[in-house]
Amino acid sequence: MADPTAANPNQLNASKNDDKSLDKQTLAAVLQFLRKNNLKDTEDLLKKEANIEETDEGVGTSTDQEVTSVLSAYNSDGDPCMYEEFYRGLQNLIEASLDSSKSELSQVLYPVFVHMYLELVYNGHENQAKNFFASFSEDQEEHHQEDLIRLATFTKKEHMIHNELMMNYRTSKYVIRMCRNSYQALKRQLHDRQNTMVLNIVEEHLFIDVFDGVPRSKQQIEATAGGMVGQARRDANKSRVYYGLLKEPEISLPIEEEDEGGEDGDKPKRKRPKKDSSAGKKNKPDPNAPPVTRIPLLEMKDSDKIDKAIALRELSKRIRLGPDCLPSICFYTFLNAFQGLISVDISDDSSLMVAGFADSCIRVWALTQRKLRSMKLGSDLTHIDKEADDVMERIMDDRTASDCRTLLGHSGSVYSVSISPDRTYILSGSEDGTVRLWSMFTFSNLVCYKGHNYPVWDVQFAPYGHYFVSGGNDRTARLWTTENYQPIRLFAGHFSDIDCIRFHPNSNYVATGSSDRTIRLWDLQNGKCVRIMTGHKGPIQVLCFSPNGHYLASGSTDGRVLIWELRHGHLVAELANHTDTVYALAFCRDGSVLASGGMDNCVKLWDVKKVFSEVEAEDMTTTPNIVQSVKSKLLLGSYPSKDTPVYYLHFTRRNLLLAAGSYANTSS
Amino acid sequence: MADDKKFTVLTPSSVKMVGESAGISGLSDEIASMIAEDVCYRLREVTQASTQFMKHAKRKRLNAEDFNKALRWSDVEPIHGYGARDPLNFIPVKDSELFFSEDREINLIDLAMDGKIPSAPGTTSVKASWVAIEGIQKSSGAQAGTGVTHKFQSLSQDFQQYYKDVTKAILESDKQQAELCLSDLRKNTKVSGLLPYLVNFVSCGVKMVSHDLCQLMRLMHLVDALIHNQALFLGPYLVNLISTVKYCILEPLAVSINPLNDHWALRDYAARLLSQILRSSKEIMGRFEHQLLAALKEVLSDPARPLCSHYGAVVGLCALGTRAVEEVLVSQLSSYWPILQQVLEDTSISNSQVKVDGHKVHGAILAAAEMLLKTKQDQSVDEESVTPSQEQSPNASPDHQAEFAFGTASHLMHLSGSGISGSAAADPVRKPKRCSISETYSHLYEYLGDSLTLRLHPKGEPSKQTLEPPKDIDLMQLLNTEHQSSQHYRGNYQGGLLNLTRRKYPNRPRLLSGGTGREGLRPRHAKTPKKIRGRAASLKDAFPLAKTIKIHKSDFKTQLSIPGRLVSLKTKTGTSEESSAVPAWLKTNSDVWKINMRMPVFGKRRIHSTEPSEDIQSSSNQRTVCDLNALF
């Protein structure tokens, strides 16, 4: 370490020279650019002016090379050998700080490390960058390893252009939440120690969200750490979210079902949201519910009303689940699925199952006795009495009845399928960048929605039909209506792929989970991001809203299931028991039990009622304690299958749990 | 360069080489290294992108398809032809730094299918099964789809522990523990989940411990417990169980090498198990009878097999029933007898051990014949009681063709219970093609001679029929001589056997005086299978080390106690200790016989290698056995 200090004065001189030569370089580049674009006058002008105001011009004209300018912030005159010393200095500083603020301060280490490395790479100090990486990458926390591996792939300035991760670090500031005392201590220490390099990075690339109060504990920090670009800013979760359920439209029903008042809305996907438990009587509106007209919804059809009546009849036969009464689990195993099963969906009434395969076909199965039938041909349809009561029955052709139908049309793996609430349509999202709408009357493709242009990872129908959302590799989520071939909303903000997307039961919000390890909640009405939730340490694979709309459960590749409350966007519970990626989550119809399943071939049941009651007892204005699954004994049961990963979970209206997966898919 | 190991690195020279192959020569080092570095980076980038496709396909393994998808979405042409499952081999050219990928003929269809889809895949289907009922996991059967491999780890902890305890108890020497486990297994109604593992344990076990008689016996006890457990449905595992039991009956087990081991008892016990399994239902009998008969017949007709296998075949036939005995044994006797006879006639010292084995087989055949005749006799008695007819003498009514309608044989039930030497077999046998008792008798008598007669009247009960009223023979003496007969090889033949020779059959050759222990044997056939003898001799020559293994003389008595042979193990162990693996006398008695150890094996059949047994007393002999191991 003696060497760099000795070399320091020389280095300063050298850097001054660098400064000048760099300006000249920029100027030369600009001139070259002008020449290339035949901007002769400007070029001449610039040449003239170059003697007087070279720097100003240089900056001003180079803005069209957007990427370069973005990166040029990494232009640094620092001695490449000093980086290690400065970083070590930061480490020592944090080590020497007060215990109470130590864990808060150590949040700074990772972003500083990343930005120092990028600066080294940008300035062409390849070997120093490698050494720097080798020295300190081990010190970073476990959940950063995935990004670090990617970071290590760039060793040249050229690599940094067009790289997603790189751009994320560059275009957005890494957010760190810190209490005022810690922040001031950090600043003072950096000044005292003359650690200008770190100070610059902190000022330029970090956003420190300062709050008044006591420093957070290590556990608290760790719980919300994990996002690709740090935590959510506090003000990001300030806006109001109407997480209540829509007022149930009045319909005349053959059966009175008023005794269900105590339970909140049960069917997330059906037109039967009930009022919030706090709302009491049916006619009192839920204060947290959005106005019914906030998002325009379709009128209920007669068939919907009949369907709802059936659903309500089922309701009376539903089993109330709890720790003493666990559901039966029925597993649908896909055999001979050599093509590779990827996605499964089961209709709300559990009569249909749709599966998307890697060989781009979609298969539909009838799970009940009612077979799949096509509509009669047009010539036959003209003879049918359209006024008959059973016209829907008459239009179907019995000769086409079968248990399984195949839908062909995609030209890439089908990553997601979704059945419309009225079971007349199927949506599919595929690797070919399209979303397709299929008719269940003709078993053919009706519409191909092009817009993503990159693989679509997930699609879902809105709980009231008509709308649907999709999210994919292009890092955007889009809202569509079935009758329009262009999206009506575009939700942009994630730093990486959107891996999963789910509608809120009241159809006013959409939650997205991303590979940037954050979950966002978007308002359909204005397209704004209203909640950002960090805490997962891996890409989010699955999301699921509680039936009453208050909570959101998420599963990730880290094998953990987290539960968030939507009022403030706080993490309220951590359910850790899975040993591998969680692919499927499902709340039971009354919201008291959560089922999760994943790559570890296991279905697990969790007592979430306990979580909710603990959370409701707390004051939510401050960060709540996180309910830990181990401590609170939330795991109700674990049910391994023999060799079948769980891809999908679904509670029937009577609270029977259905699981689906493909046997021997992972045997390779 | 700390991260070198994490990434593939393309060297500038490779870039140059690729450039040259594309017709670009003379790349400068600088350019080559820049290109190399960029290519490396692009590769890493694409690999990163392809992991996203892997994750969304819900897989753990990245495949060529994922990589191609990532390429396609980065606007790069996908690279086809790398979807095959086998890794591409890079072959270095000697003396130059050149590597190339192996270019062999490939199956395009396989490649196109990415090796994932079998040639005749079943249709994709969905199968529903219960994983849990009201929160209680179904112990087994959840998703027992076709070809599902069972995962032991997926069993509950209790099951795993139980399995461990049982297997440990079976394999360890703690007798009490083993008995406890077996008695529990016999009654426990909840072990069905473990059944496949236990069956597997037994069927693998018999092959693993074929050198240890005690453990083999325990494994057979385990089978016994499984078949007696009323709560178990053996259905799909019967095949395994039967083949396991068959293995113990027929195979020349490693325990058989050491003549001290009473592997005969094991074979008897296994045969009894077989009969119990088969008798449990008509359906099982029908399913396995034919193939078992074929297997037993094959063993019996193969002279290359050791005598212990032949013995197994005979007791196996007994287990299958009198019909099997009649159909296979009686018909095979004419070809088999000369082989046995040859063994028994050989009085050379070197042959003594094989001869002992031969006597065993002889005894087994006798027992089988006795069983057959007694059954027939009872049938004819029954027949007589219905339709009184003339006296049944072998000569008088050879044309007796009465047809009997009887139920399925279950005569072995009493075999296992009381032994063949006890009361006469009472169970009738239904035979489609039956010979009259007299025919059978005369046929058997031709081979077995008077010892057969003895067996039919062991307790001096006067026969109701006039089969062979041996009025001129002291029955007690005969019984004694039978024991003596087994000791003939020792040379203490007492005589008296001559009396046995029946004058009714003047054609029958007389026994030579001086007795070779094959009383009633037919003279050797003219066509002696010299091949066998030759083989035996050559074997002896081949293994000159296999000479002296010490055998206690009194052992032979127990080994050859033919009449008691089919007595159930329990009663036998109750009366004599000899049947257990290490007889007590062995440790105390120093009176040791030296005999030439000849392998009880002919021809290509191998004997399983064995470990030095405790039974062998002197260290020098231990070495002998070790040497044997080395030879095999």
Nearest by CB to residue B45, choosing from A153, A330, A363, is A153
Q: How far apart are CA A148 and CA A140, in angstroms?
A: 9
The pLDDT-based confidence of A229 (bands split at 50, 70, 90) is: confident
pLDDT tier for residue B607 given thresholds of 50, 70 and 90: very low
Report the pLDDT averaged over residues B117-130.
Answer: 71
pLDDT at position A544, please?
94
Distance CA A318, CA A654 (A): 4
Predicted local confidence at residue B532, as pLDDT: 41
Looking at the complex, report in whole angstroms how far the Cα of residue A472 sits from the nearest Cα belonging to chain B.
11
Cβ contacts of B126 on chain A, cutoff 8 Å: 332-335, 353, 365, 660
Residues contacting A291, CB < 8 A, separation 6+:
none
Question: CA–CA separation, A186 vs A163, rounded Å?
Answer: 31
Q: Of A65, A66, A283, A97, nearest to A189 (Cα)? A: A97
Going from the C-alpha of B216 to that of each of A253, B223, B257, the distances in angstroms are 73, 11, 15
Cβ-based contacts of A329 with chain B (< 8 Å): 130-132
Confidence tier at A73 by pLDDT (50, 70, 90): low
Residues sharing a CB contact under 8 Å with residue A288, sequence separation 6 or more, in sequence order: A242, A243, A244, A276, A567
Confidence of residue B413 (pLDDT cuts 50, 70, 90): very low
Q: Cβ–Cβ of B48/A583 closer than 8 Å?
A: no
Distance from CA of A462 to the nearest CA of B (A): 22
Q: Which of A190-194, A578-582, B62-66, B516-520 has the lowest mean pLDDT?
A: B516-520
Instruction: Return the pLDDT at A234.
Output: 72
Q: In this predicted model, what pLDDT tens digit does every residue of B129-161 receive, in sequence order?
A: 888 887 777 654 444 333 344 466 667 778 888
A415 Cβ under 8 Å from any chain B Cβ: yes
- pLDDT digit string, tens, across residues A252-294: 555 444 444 444 444 444 444 444 444 344 456 677 888 888 8
Convert the pLDDT of each residue in A114-173 to its tens digit.
Answer: 888 888 888 878 888 888 888 887 778 777 877 888 788 777 777 777 777 777 777 778
Mean pLDDT of chain A: 79
Per-range mean pLDDT, top range of B64-73, B470-479, B507-516: B64-73
Write down the H helix ranges in A175-258: 180-192, 196-205, 218-224
**What pLDDT does B121 receive?**
59
> Is residue B531 predicted with pLDDT exceeding 60?
no
Is the pLDDT confidence value at A583 over 90?
Answer: yes
Mean pLDDT of B576-583: 40
pLDDT of residue B139: 54
Rounded to whole angstroms, the Cα distance separating B248 from B205 reads 11
Tokens (6 digits) for B609:
């290698």
Q: Distance, in angstroms, between B75 CA and closest chain A CA?
A: 12
Identify whether B58 is part of a domain. Answer: yes
CATH number of the domain bearing residue B51: 1.10.20.10
β-bridge pairing B125-133 and B136-137: antiparallel
Arithmetic mean of pLDDT, B499-503: 39
Residue where the block lists tokens 């030209």: A411
Alpha carbons A25 and A23: distance in angstroms, whole number: 5
Residue of B nearest to A603 (CA): B131
Average pLDDT for A17-30: 61
CB A31: neighbour CB atoms within 10 A?
16
Cβ <8 Å between B131 and A455: no
Interchain CB contact of A459 with B (< 8 Å):
no
Please tell me which of the candidates A153, A158, A358 has its beta carbon nearest to residue B57: A358
Q: Does B36 fall in a domain?
A: yes
Contact check, Cβ <8 Å, A333/B133: no
d(CA A209, CA A230): 11
Please state the rounded mean pLDDT for residues B11-29.
Answer: 85
Alpha-carbon span B259 to B252, nearest angstrom: 12
Cα–Cα dist A607/A226, whole Å: 26
Residue A603, strand partner residues: A597, A639
Q: Which of B511, B595, B615 is nearest to B553 (CA)?
A: B595
- Across the range B391-407, mean pLDDT stands at 37
Radius of gyration of chain B (CA): 34
* Confidence band for B500, pLDDT divided at 50, 70 and 90: very low
Closest CA to A468 of A447, A492, A443, A444: A447
Q: Please give the residue that has the higher pLDDT: either A623 or B124.
A: B124
What's the whole-number mean pLDDT along residues B537-550?
A: 40
What DSSP string runs through A475-529?
A: SEEEEEETT-SS-SEEEE--SS-EEEEEE-TTSSEEEEEETTSEEEEEETTT--E
Mean pLDDT of A246-250: 71
* CB < 8 Å to B59, chain A: 340, 665-666
> CB–CB of B130 and A155 under 8 A?
no
A152 at B interface, C-beta within 8 A: yes
Which residue out of A126, A128, A153 would a mutagenesis test of the B interface target, given it has the greatest number of B Cβ atoms within 10 Å? A153
Residue B591's pLDDT is what? 38
pLDDT in tens, B335-352: 888 777 777 777 777 777
Q: What is the pLDDT, as a whole number, of residue B411?
A: 38
Facing residue for A333 by CB, picked from B41, B56, B129: B129
Interface-testing mutation among B42, B54, B63, B143, with chain A (most A C-beta atoms within 10 A): B143
> How far is B375 from B606, CA to CA, in rounded Å?
37
Q: What is the pLDDT of residue A596?
A: 93
Choose among A338, A642, A647: nearest Cβ to B118. A338
Angstrom distance (rounded) from CA A662 to CA A336: 8
Closest-CA distance of chain B to residue A409, Å = 18
Partner-chain contact A340 B116, CB within 8 Å: yes
pLDDT at A232 over 90: no
Q: B362: burial class by Cβ within 10 Å (0-12, 13-18, 19+)? A: buried
Residue B182 has a CB neighbour count (10 Å cut-off) of 19
Q: Which residues contact B542 (CB under 8 A, 6 or more apart)?
A: none
Q: What percent of chain B has pLDDT over 90?
A: 0
Q: What pLDDT, on the 0 to 100 scale, is given for residue A318?
A: 85
- Contact between A407 and A438 under an 8 Å Cβ cutoff? The reply is yes
**Higher per-residue confidence, A475 vs B107:** A475
| A76 pLDDT tier (thresholds 50, 70, 90) | low
Chain A CB contacts of B143 below 8 Å? 331, 333, 641-644, 663
Provide the pLDDT for residue A554.
Answer: 93
- Quote the distance between the C-alpha of residue A56 and its chain's center: 42
DSSP state of B329: I
The length of chain B in residues reads 632
**Does the pLDDT of residue A65 top 70, yes or no?**
no
Across the interface, whether the CB atoms of A336 and B48 are under 8 A apart is answered no
The better pLDDT of the pair B237, B610 is held by B237
pLDDT at A594: 92
- Integer Cα distance of A252 and B619 in angstroms: 98
Q: pLDDT tier at B232 (50, 70, 90 boundaries)?
A: confident
Whether A528 has a pLDDT exceeding 80, the answer reads yes
Cβ–Cβ of A665/B137 closer than 8 Å? no
Q: What type of residue is B319?
A: A
Residue B240 pLDDT exceeds 80: yes
Domain count, chain B: 1
**Please, are residues A478 and A489 in contact by the beta-carbon 8 Å criterion?**
yes
Cα A22 to Cα B401: distance, rounded to the nearest angstrom: 120
Q: Which residue of A has its CA nearest to B44?
A: A153
Chain A interface disruption, residue of B119, B126, B160, most A CBs within 10 A:
B126
Within an 8 Å CB–CB cutoff, is residue A428 touching chain B? no
Nearest CA in chain B to A158: B38
Q: Is residue B298 part of a domain?
A: no
Interface of A with B in 66-85 (CB under 8 A): none
Q: What is the pLDDT of residue A435?
A: 94
Model pLDDT, residue B528: 40
The continuous run of DSSP H or E covering A104 comes out as helix A99-105
Predicted local distance difference test score (pLDDT) of residue A428? 94
Lowest-confidence region among A267-276, A320-329, B597-606 = B597-606
DSSP state for residue A297 in the 8-state scheme:
-
pLDDT at B2: 41
Q: Is residue B475 part of a domain?
A: no
- Residue B384, pLDDT > 90, answer no
Q: Kindly list the residues from chain B whose CB atom is less than 8 angstroms away from the CB atom of residue A499.
A: 55-56
Residue A480 pLDDT grade (very low, low, confident, very high; cuts 50, 70, 90): very high
Between A127 and B396, the higher pLDDT residue:
A127
pLDDT digits (tens, 9 = 90+) for B460-485: 444 444 444 444 444 444 444 444 44
Residue B460 lies in a domain: no
Question: Per the CB < 8 Å rule, is B126 touching A333?
Answer: yes
pLDDT at residue B504, as a whole number: 44
Q: Measure in Å the smallest separation between the Cα of B598 and chain A Cα atoms.
A: 51
Measured in angstroms, the CA of A94 and the nearest CA of chain B are apart by 26
**pLDDT per residue over B266-313, tens digit each?**
888 888 888 888 877 777 777 788 888 888 888 888 877 888 888 888
CB hemisphere CA count around A567 (13 angstroms):
15
Q: How many CA atoms lie within 13 A of A613 on its CB side?
A: 8
Q: Which residues of B touch A139 (CB under 8 A)?
A: none
With a cut of 70, say whether residue B1 has pLDDT above it: no
> Do the beta carbons of residue B597 and residue B547 sit within 8 Å?
yes
State yes or no: pLDDT of A223 exceeds 70.
Answer: yes
Residue that has been written with the tokens 């079971």 in this structure: A423
Q: How confident is the model at residue A420 (pLDDT cuts 50, 70, 90)?
A: very high
Among candidates B3, B73, B131 on the partner chain, residue whose Cβ is nearest the Cβ of A331: B131
Q: Which residue has the higher pLDDT, A261 or A41?
A: A41
Query: pLDDT value at position B541?
Result: 45
Question: Who has greater pLDDT, A578 or A632?
Answer: A578
Confidence (pLDDT) at B489:
38
Q: Is residue B153 part of a domain?
A: no
- Rounded CA-CA distance B204/B193 in Å is 18
**Section B539-548 average pLDDT:** 41
- From the list A134, A457, A641, the residue facing B3 with the nearest CB is A134
Q: Percent of chain B, pLDDT > 70?
A: 54
Q: How many CB pairs under 8 A join A and B?
A: 174
- For chain B, the straight-line distance linking the first and the last C-alpha, in angstroms and rounded, comes to 55
Print the domain residue range for B72. 2-112
pLDDT at A542: 93
pLDDT higher at B126 or B587: B126
pTM: 0.58
Residues in B touching A152 (Cβ below 8 Å): 3, 6-7
Residue B385: pLDDT band with limits 50, 70, 90 = low
Q: Residue B373: what pLDDT?
A: 79
Q: How many angstroms separate the CA atoms of A336 and A356, rounded?
A: 14
Average pLDDT along chain B:
64
The residue in chain B having the minimum alpha-carbon distance to the alpha carbon of residue A584 is B58
**HSE (side-chain half, CA atoms, 13 Å) at B510:** 7
Q: Which residue has the higher pLDDT, A404 or A275?
A: A404
| Contact residues for B543 (Cβ-Cβ < 8 A; gap 6+) | B599, B628, B631
Question: Which residues contact residue A296 at a Cβ distance below 8 angstroms, ignoring those fewer than 6 apart?
Answer: none
Burial of B189 (0-12, 13-18, 19+ CB in 10 A): exposed
Q: Over the Cα atoms of chain A, what is R_g?
A: 29
The pLDDT tens digits for B175-223 are 888 888 888 888 877 777 788 888 888 888 888 777 778 888 888 888 8
Identify the H or E element spanning B556: helix B555-559
Q: 3-state class of A55 per DSSP?
A: helix
More confident residue, A639 or A284: A639
Residue A561 pLDDT grade (very low, low, confident, very high; cuts 50, 70, 90): very high
Chain center to CA of B329: 20
pLDDT value of position A621: 64
- Asked if residue B23 is part of any domain, the answer here is yes
CA distance B547 to chain A (A): 53
